[in-house]
Amino acid sequence: MKITNYATIADKYDNNQYRVDEIRHDNDLKRYFDQNNKTEYRVLDLSCGTGLYLQQQVNHYKEMNVHWSGLDLSKQMLKKAEEKLDHVTLTKADAHNMPYSDESFDYISNNYAFHHYKDKGKVLNEIHRVLNSGGIYKLHNIAIHDMPKWWIYHYFPTAYYEDLKRFWTKDVIFNELSQREFEVNMKIEYKMQEIKVADYLHYVKNRDISILTLISDTDYEEGLEKMKYDLKNNPNKTIVNDFAEIFCVAKK
């Protein structure tokens, strides 16, 4: 399994406007606040990247007494997070071996990151260890097995086979969490739509999507040229695109 080098894309990571716009306030976090009356809450964003999720939550839940934390292995990504976050404890560390004591957090968010972990079982063990009894682990990711017609795979077919090595199926995720005695609630949100290829060319040129950094330069250039060729022949070129997201809320 190949690993994304985020040092190479940290400076342009937030240039992907779709990534920025996609982040909303976390309703599952609000539900936890509503159902658990505490004087203080401890929330960890695991593999927090440039801090987009934390920025949204900190701004939205200002009235709550929350100790916010973020952990990431990339110092370059954390540097970007520091530029946008105040009153958040950021830690450079490996998710496989978190520098926290047992039962340190009430809520752990994990957005678009789980597929990057080499030993996913070990990371789940760590999550279980540092999460309080009754606490919530929320995994949010794309569900690649339910979206074979994703535009990325259309133009970069080798990306799909690389992703198969990195992503667990939803059944495996459910079973692995259940085996660790989590109470699991999982849903997949799916949509199919016709998209304009021109709207996505910028993202390819930016090459900040992790899977595009893992395929060979030759495969990347071939896909990029195919997009350009299609748009040269038809500036309004469209393709059918499907997209699926997994939302997994696991209670310890």
Write down the pLDDT at residue 235. 98
pLDDT (tens digit, 9 = 90+) per residue, 154-198? 999 999 999 999 999 999 999 999 999 999 999 999 999 999 999
The CA-based dihedral angle spanning residues 206, 211, 216, 218, taken in that order and rounded to the nearest 10 degrees: -50
Residues 6 or more apart whose Cβ sits within 8 Å of residue 48: 54, 70, 71, 72, 77, 78, 81, 90
- On whether residue 35 sits in a domain, the answer given is yes
- On whether residue 85 sits in a domain, the answer given is yes
- Token pair for residue 15? 């240039």
pLDDT over 90 percentage in the chain = 90
pLDDT (tens digit, 9 = 90+) per residue, 121-139? 999 999 999 999 999 999 9
Confidence of residue 13 (pLDDT cuts 50, 70, 90): confident
Separation of alpha carbons 214 and 194, rounded Å: 27
- On whether residue 190 sits in a domain, the answer given is yes
- On whether residue 1 sits in a domain, the answer given is no
Write down the pLDDT at residue 149. 97
User: Looking at residues 25-49, what average pLDDT do you find?
Assistant: 97
Confidence of residue 6 (pLDDT cuts 50, 70, 90): confident
- On whether residue 59 sits in a domain, the answer given is yes
Is it the case that residue 14 has pLDDT exceeding 90?
A: no
Write down the pLDDT at residue 112. 95
Separation of alpha carbons 126 and 130, rounded Å: 6
Write down the pLDDT at residue 18. 67
**Tokens 């992703």 belong to residue:** 163
Q: How many residues does this entry show for the chain?
A: 252
- On whether residue 187 sits in a domain, the answer given is yes
User: Looking at residues 136-144, what average pLDDT do you find?
Assistant: 98
DSSP 118: S
- On whether residue 116 sits in a domain, the answer given is yes
Q: What residue numbers bound the domain in which 123 lies?
A: 6-251
pLDDT (tens digit, 9 = 90+) per residue, 222-242? 999 999 999 999 999 999 999
Q: Which residue type occupies 23?
A: I
Confidence of residue 22 (pLDDT cuts 50, 70, 90): confident
pLDDT (tens digit, 9 = 90+) per residue, 72-112? 999 999 999 999 999 999 999 999 999 999 999 999 999 99
Q: How many domains, the chain?
A: 1
CATH number for the domain harbouring residue 247: 3.40.50.150
- On whether residue 222 sits in a domain, the answer given is yes
Residues 6 or more apart whose Cβ sits within 8 Å of residue 220: 156, 207, 212
The pTM assigned to this predicted structure is 0.94
